[in-house]
Amino acid sequence: MALLLLLESSGPVCSAALSLHGKVIAIRENHEGNKHAELLSVFCDQVLQEAGYTPSQLSAVAVSGGPGSYTGLRIGASTAKGYCFALNIPLIAIPTLESMAMGMLGDAGKDDLLCPMIDARRMEVYAAVFDKDMNNVAPVTPVVLDETSFVNFMDQKAVWFSGDGMPKAKELLSKHPNARFTESGMPSARNLAQAAEEHFQKGRFEDLAYYVPFYLKTFQPGPKRSGQ
């Protein structure tokens, strides 16, 4: 029996879930943003209590591994490591865009492509392209959106866009006949369940001491406030 604690904190959504044999049995989410440090550990306690389990019964912890918010990813990784070190259980990291694409599978047709997007600054997004079998057709990369973005894919197949970067793409790409848009790929701990179960069964674990999230870009601090 694989009882997995699932953590998603890569963006504005703070989400924790519990899965058993790859099926989500409890979940808590907050979409207000900037409350990860306050809520993530609380949500972990709540999903365990709701499902009637204790931390000692966990098989592993799975975390959304990035890219995404530098601060959010660090909070998720720190929370996950805390459980793993304390309980001597393995850590699983699922790429954030992969988990988002998993959430889009129900919308897409057999030959369609999936393009989850994470909002970055200005007209930039972090994006990747997957097929329905979750093969990575285009690797994770920062993309500055314009009217030609992803046209090479859309000229061949329908492409589904989702995530908090999707509205930027919709403004520019909606006139293409093969452009599709859905809300199903928003980051959520729910979308980690299937991939985390597969990683657990195959023993694909992270080095707990040295694991760091995939930031894609180096951290760029904002300007200091006066008096700092």
What DSSP letter does each residue of 61-80 carry, written as one string? EEEE--SS-HHHHHHHHHHH
| β-sheet with 124-131: strand ranges across | 136-144, 124-131, 113-119, 159-162, 179-181
CA 55 to CA 181: how far, in whole Å? 38
Q: What is the structure's pLDDT at 220?
A: 44
**What class has domain 107-181?**
alpha beta
Q: What is the structure's pLDDT at 52?
A: 98
Q: What is the structure's pLDDT at 122?
A: 87
The H or E element that residue 27 is part of is strand 23-30
Which of these, 73, 53, 54, lies nearest to 63 by C-alpha position? 73
pTM, two decimals, is 0.91
Buried b / exposed e over 171-191, threshold 16 CB at 10 Å, is: ebbeeeebbbbbebbbbbbbb
Q: What is the structure's pLDDT at 222?
A: 41
Q: What is the structure's pLDDT at 216?
A: 83
Which of these, 22, 68, 67, 64, lies nearest to 40 by C-alpha position? 64
Domain limits, CATH 3.30.420.40, in the chain: 3-95+187-202
CA 211 to CA 197: how far, in whole Å? 19
Q: What is the DSSP string of 136-191?
A: EEEEEEEEE--TTTTHHHHTTS-EEEESTTHHHHHHHHTTSTTEEE-STTS--GGG
Helix spans in 52-118 (H): 70-87, 96-104
Residues 190, 24: contact at Cβ < 8 Å?
yes
Q: What is the structure's pLDDT at 34?
A: 85
CB atoms within 10 A of CB 38: 11
What pairs with residue 30 in β-bridges? 14
Bond before 67 cis per omega within 30 degrees: yes
Consecutive 10-residue averages of pLDDT for the chain (228 residues)? 95 96 97 92 98 98 96 97 98 97 94 96 94 95 96 97 95 97 94 97 97 76 40
- Topology of domain 3-95+187-202 in CATH is Nucleotidyltransferase; domain 5 (3.30.420)
Q: What is the structure's pLDDT at 35?
A: 92
